[in-house]
């Protein structure tokens, strides 16, 4: 084998029958498969799960982070939990995502919106790409929280959508970092928003998402009307 292990060992590893995989072997597998940093992290999470306490019924954003969101007044900003629950949103984010209304306590879920709300397919110009990124995030989080019943229930619920059923078995993983998305907003028209994603120190299961616009661009002028 090119990664320095026997065929039998590799088959047992692939089928999850080896619970004592060394870090050296996992590193070799990651190199052989040319995994990126996110995929490597997912591989280690699956092969060497860390004992975790049971997850709280509802994740909550830290009050300090919520205050940060409330003080961001020129761009949409939100905090997502590891199930893609929307834990907190600032005013512009609530305006931009009207389907979420005024409830930012975690009852709203980005993946549920993406696959089960028809408005999402109209909002995102590249809906398929964004939807598959959502699936990749759920796969990544599922690797770190394999025994989370609420995450499992969400995946079952999303399986009502045929696109989700088709893409979920592909096992792709995704960690948001930065980029840009094009939107076709029902009230604002077409916009292009950049995004920057951050992991708050002290809570690796939450993501702070900031939407950005090119200064002076049509999208910038549109956001200023909100």
State the DSSP code for 181.
E
pLDDT in tens, 15-71: 555 556 666 666 666 666 666 665 666 566 555 555 444 554 567 888 988 999 999
The architecture in CATH of the region 63-223 reads: 2-Layer Sandwich (3.30)
Residue 110 has pLDDT above 70, yes or no: yes
Q: How far apart are CA 188 and CA 206, in angstroms?
A: 29
State the DSSP code for 99.
G
Q: Which of 66, 78, 98 minimizes the C-alpha distance to 210?
A: 78
pLDDT in tens, 155-201: 999 999 999 999 999 878 888 889 999 999 999 999 999 999 998 87
Q: What is the chain's mean pLDDT, rounded?
A: 81
Q: How far apart are CA 122 and CA 221, in angstroms?
A: 22
Q: Which of 189, 203, 208 minimizes the C-alpha distance to 93?
A: 208
Q: Which of 67, 102, 68, 109 minimizes the C-alpha distance to 86?
A: 109
Q: Are 137 and 176 in contact (CB under 8 A)?
A: yes
For residues 68-91, average pLDDT: 93
- Which residues share a beta bridge with 191? 183
Domain ranges of the chain: 7-47, 63-223
What predicted TM-score, i.e. pTM, was given to this entire model?
0.74
């Amino acid at each position: 084998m090119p990664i320095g292990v026997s065929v039998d060992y590799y088959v047992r590893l692939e089928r999850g029958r080896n619970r004592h995989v060394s870090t050296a072997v996992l590193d070799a597998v990651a190199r052989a498969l040319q995994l990126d940093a996110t995929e490597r992290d997912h591989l280690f999470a699956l092969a060497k799960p860390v004992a975790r306490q049971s997850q709280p019924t509802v994740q909550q954003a830290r009050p300090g982070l919520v205050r940060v969101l409330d003080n961001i007044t020129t761009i949409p900003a939100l905090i997502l939990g590891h199930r893609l629950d929307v834990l907190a949103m600032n005013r512009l984010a609530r305006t931009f995502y009207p389907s979420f209304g005024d409830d930012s306590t975690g009852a709203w879920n980005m993946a549920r919106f993406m696959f089960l709300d028809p408005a999402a397919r109209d909002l995102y110009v590249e809906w398929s790409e964004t939807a598959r990124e959502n699936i990749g995030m759920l796969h990544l989080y599922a690797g770190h929280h394999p025994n989370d019943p609420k995450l499992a229930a969400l995946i079952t619920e999303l399986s009502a959508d045929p696109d989700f059923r088709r893409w979920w078995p592909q096992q792709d993983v995704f960690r948001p970092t930065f980029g840009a998305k094009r939107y076709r907003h029902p009230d604002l028209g077409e916009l292009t928003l950049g995004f920057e994603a951050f992991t708050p120190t002290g809570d690796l299961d939450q993501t702070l998402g900031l939407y950005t616009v090119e200064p002076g661009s049509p999208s910038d002028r549109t956001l200023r009307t909100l």
